[in-house]
Amino acid sequence: MANHLDLEEQEQLDQLKHFWNQYGNLITWILIAVLGSIAAWNGYHMWQRNQATQSAAMYDEVEKVVRSGDVQKAERAFTDMKDRFAKMTYTEQAGLLVAKMAYESGKPDVAKATLTWVADNASDPGYASIARLRLAAVMIEAKAYDDALKTLASGIADEFAALAADRKGDIYVLQDKKNEAKAEYQKAFKAFDSQSEYRRLVGVKLSAMGVNAEAGSEKAVSDEGAK
């Protein structure tokens, strides 16, 4: 009986050796790849946490500089932040902050360049949309109406579509393109929440153009009412 078990064990050992000789290297490399992937994944998340911590600290510094009112220093701080943490959300927030400060300080070119960077590079669609809306406002101020329309033509997240349509309507009014303005205002009116102040404002704009926003059609103005 013992000899029979010994023979069976020897046969199993021989089969195991044969299997390992045939597939051992493959199994080893698969294990190395899996363990390496796990290590890389953990390392990446650790790196992300470090990046987030450092970018948050830099954002605090940018915020302090902005409060001090030094536009040039704020611009340099933001440039440094872009170079080191271009893909971090804090950098996008810092860009919007610096652009606002620059515009209010009478430096629209700095504001435009900063907002353009955020619009083109932000990983968060919301921040990219805000940057495009503000950039369009800067362009409108400079009477660059076609550029403003191009800026609003793409890269706008759904939740900002109504604001973009309202701004397009404003641009078309400035270009004396009334039909296009009405169409954009009507889009905006339909997209805004019924309780939104923005919706009421768009309704006023449509009313001034002779459009009943609620009905979606032009108001019939009687001769008597026109007197």
* CA distances in angstroms from 174 to 35, 53, 151, 163, 170, listed in the order given: 62, 45, 16, 17, 6
pLDDT at 24: 64
| Partners of 152 in beta bridges | none
Q: Is residue 147 domain-shared with residue 174, that is, in the same domain?
A: no
Q: Supply the mean pLDDT for the chain.
A: 81
Strands 211-212 and 217-218, by their bridges, are antiparallel
Position 175 scores a pLDDT of 96
DSSP letter, residue 160: G
Q: What is the CATH number for 125? A: 1.25.40.10
Query: Do 168 and 152 share a domain, yes or no?
Result: no
Report whether pLDDT(218) > 70: no
Token digits of residue 118: 């955020």
Q: Say yes or no to pLDDT of 213 above 60.
A: yes
191 in a structural domain: yes
Local structure of 153: helix, strand or coil:
coil
* Number of domains observed in the structure of the chain: 2
**For range 68-88, the mean pLDDT:** 87
Q: What is the pLDDT of residues 178-211, one digit of tens each?
A: 999 999 999 999 999 988 898 999 999 999 998 8
Query: What pTM was estimated for this model as a whole?
Result: 0.72
Question: Is residue 175 included in any domain, yes or no?
Answer: yes
H/E stretch holding 214 reads none
- The tens digit of pLDDT for each residue in 42-76 reads 554 464 566 557 767 788 888 888 888 888 888 88
Domain that holds residue 69: 57-156
Please say which residue of 156, 178, 202 terminates a domain: 156
In a domain, 24, yes or no: no
